[in-house]
């Protein structure tokens, strides 16, 4: 049971826009920034979004993040086949004194 809650799966067709949610509490998302990771099959995770809505250099602007209260979202527009991957949200938890992850969302491009 993960501290942050994500839907286990999401899907879309090429060109579509999809969103992935991440729900937490006042001790994590409610008081700290949210980060998102993309894990392509058989590879290490890669930082996709940091500080709620910032993209590292090299990440396409098709990827965007937002946060409101104790929830956050990752949006992917202009969906491409190479976006098929697992996506994870993460944040610091002030009560646990630990980094907490969501359970991950498997994105399928139909």
Site residues (vs other proteins, CB under 8 A) = 2, 32-35, 37, 39, 44-47, 50-51, 56, 86, 88, 90-92, 96-104
Taking the least distance from each CB to other proteins, the nearer of 77 and 94 is: 94
Q: Tell me whether residue 17 or residue 98 sits nearer to other proteins (CB atom).
A: 98
Task: Select from 106, 103, 107, 102 the least CA-distant residue to 29.
Answer: 102
Q: What's phi and psi for 18, nearest 5 deg?
A: -125, 150
Question: In the complex, what is the shortest distance from the CB of residue 14 to other proteins, in angstroms, rounded to a whole number?
Answer: 26
């Amino acid at each position: 049971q993960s501290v942050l809650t994500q839907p286990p799966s999401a899907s879309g067709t090429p060109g579509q826009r999809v969103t992935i949610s991440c729900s937490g509490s006042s001790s994590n998302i409610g008081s700290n920034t949210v980060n998102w990771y993309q894990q392509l099959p058989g590879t290490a995770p890669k930082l996709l979004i940091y500080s709620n809505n910032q993209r590292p250099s090299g990440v396409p602007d098709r990827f965007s993040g937002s946060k409101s209260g104790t929830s956050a979202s990752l949006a992917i527009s202009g969906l491409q086949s190479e976006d098929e991957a697992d996506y994870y949200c993460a944040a610091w938890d002030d009560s646990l004194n630990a980094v907490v992850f969501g359970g991950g969302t498997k994105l399928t491009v139909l």
